[in-house]
């Protein structure tokens, strides 16, 4: 019997067991009757990887779930206390991101921990790959959702900061929730592509998880590129829009009459945007680039780098909640007790924004005033 072994460089080697002439991972007559998810890696495996141990999985899952739960309570409390429409829509996106991260850790983490506790055999438990496909879809769905929601939040903040009147008129709570639903549907549609025949999900080493097949075969490579490019484009869009938003806020808050401006929410959201963008880029770029590079190169993926970059991506779900927990007005007031903290939103800055942003905001302000006056006249 052949047992897979992973040396320090992460390459998968096949070790012969003298008592058998079969090979784990090869396509025997028995394996042909099983699902396609076992065509590359077939259990049982013999691996002793520290990074793939049950301690890592349990620690990461427990820490991530508790962090997201605390962040969810903080955001619900903040949502109940806010009276700003702009702030409410931003909190809806943040809450949806926390819920997505929480569910992603709960679904995928419970499967991995169950494997380490029970040591079940995937081939015996799931010979038709239904369970493996479910986990693969979960990995893709809960992987893309935070990146897509981050890009959506960047668009929302860009519009809210650079077009505050249009944002306050068109971005309602129901539209924010509908936008979140569209993001979930889009990510779910991508995760279903392998089920429709575009790409495939396979059991991954060390046998505790299923993910997309990183291969140079046409359909698998195309799906790998879709996953990687959607994630990378989301990060690029977030970087560009968040940079413009931050520059706009700095220009407004540091202008000649900044002493008269009320900017607590602006500072809070600006710091959150910077940290969310930085964390997502650091955690996700290595995995996305590795998947695209490996698929295009035609080489087999190495176990250790894949697991390492996957751990990096998992850190995103653990670190994101602490941005919402720590970067709040109450914490910022303690860190900067000498600052002038008041209650206002970006719309309160419209005189300066109109002067610095040109005729576009000026026409929007006039149009908004005319609409309000018309409504008031109609009511009278």
The verdict on residue 38 lying in a domain is no
The verdict on residue 31 lying in a domain is no
Q: Cis before residue 44, ω within 30 degrees of 0?
A: yes
33 or 374, which is more confident: 33
The verdict on residue 360 lying in a domain is no
The structure's pTM equals 0.76
| Amino acid 23: pLDDT | 38
Q: Based on the structure, what is the number of domains in the chain?
A: 1
| Amino acid 160: pLDDT | 78
The verdict on residue 250 lying in a domain is yes
Please write the tens of the pLDDT for every residue from 245-269: 888 877 776 665 554 444 566 667 7
> For residue 316, is it left (φ>0), alpha (ψ between -120 and 50) or beta?
alpha
CB 285 within 8 A of CB 232: yes
Closest CA to 84 of 365, 346, 283: 346
Q: What are phi and psi of 43, to 5 degrees?
A: -70, 160
Please write the tens of the pLDDT for every residue from 14-29: 333 333 333 344 444 4
How many C-alpha atoms does 202 have within 13 Å on its Cβ side?
A: 19
The verdict on residue 195 lying in a domain is yes
The verdict on residue 246 lying in a domain is yes
Place of tokens 């990183």: 214
For residue 249, the surrounding DSSP H or E stretch is: helix 218-253
The verdict on residue 328 lying in a domain is yes
The CATH number of whichever domain residue 240 belongs to comes to 1.20.1070.10
| Amino acid 78: pLDDT | 79
CB 254 within 8 A of CB 356: no
The verdict on residue 367 lying in a domain is no
Residue 154: which domain range? 53-335
Which of 34-38, 168-172, 187-191, 335-339 has maximum average pLDDT?
Answer: 187-191
| Amino acid 157: pLDDT | 83
How far lies 274's CA from each of 6, 41, 78, 100, in Å? 39, 40, 20, 20
């Amino acid at each position: 019997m052949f047992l897979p072994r992973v040396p320090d460089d992460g390459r998968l080697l096949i070790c012969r067991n003298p008592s058998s002439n079969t090979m784990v991972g090869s396509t025997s007559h028995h394996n042909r009757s099983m699902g396609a998810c076992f065509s590359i890696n077939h259990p049982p495996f013999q691996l002793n990887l520290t990074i793939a141990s049950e301690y890592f999985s349990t620690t990461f899952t427990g820490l991530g779930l508790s962090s997201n739960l605390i962040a969810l309570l903080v955001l619900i409390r903040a949502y109940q206390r806010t009276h700003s429409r702009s702030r409410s829509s931003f909190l809806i996106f943040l809450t949806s991101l926390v819920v997505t991260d929480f569910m992603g850790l709960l679904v995928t983490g419970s499967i991995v921990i169950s494997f380490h506790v029970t040591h079940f055999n995937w081939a015996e438990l799931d010979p038709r790959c239904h369970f493996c496909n479910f986990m693969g879809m979960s990995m893709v769905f809960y992987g893309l959702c935070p990146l897509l929601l981050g890009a959506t939040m960047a668009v929302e903040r860009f519009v809210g900061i650079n077009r505050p009147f249009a944002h306050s008129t068109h971005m309602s709570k129901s539209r924010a929730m509908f936008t979140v639903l569209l993001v979930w549907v889009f990510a779910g549609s991508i995760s279903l592509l392998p089920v429709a025949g575009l790409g495939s999900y396979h059991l991954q080493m060390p046998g505790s998880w299923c993910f997309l097949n990183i291969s140079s075969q046409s359909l698998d490579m195309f799906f790998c590129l879709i996953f990687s490019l959607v994630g990378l484009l989301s990060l690029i869009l977030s970087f560009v829009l968040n940079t413009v938003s931050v520059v706009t806020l700095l220009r407004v808050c540091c202008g000649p009459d900044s002493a008269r401006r009320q900017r607590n929410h602006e500072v809070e959201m600006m710091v959150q945007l910077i940290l969310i963008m930085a964390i997502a880029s650091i955690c996700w770029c290595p995995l996305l680039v590795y998947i695209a590079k490996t698929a295009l190169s035609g080489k087999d993926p190495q176990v250790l780098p894949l697991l390492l970059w996957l751990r990096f991506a998992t850190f995103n779900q653990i670190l994101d909640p602490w941005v919402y927990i720590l970067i709040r007005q109450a914490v910022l007031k303690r860190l900067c007790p000498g600052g002038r903290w008041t209650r206002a939103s970006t719309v309160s800055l419209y005189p300066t924004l109109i002067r610095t942003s040109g005729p576009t905001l000026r026409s929007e302000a006039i149009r908004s005033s005319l609409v309000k006056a018309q409504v008031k006249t109609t009511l009278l």
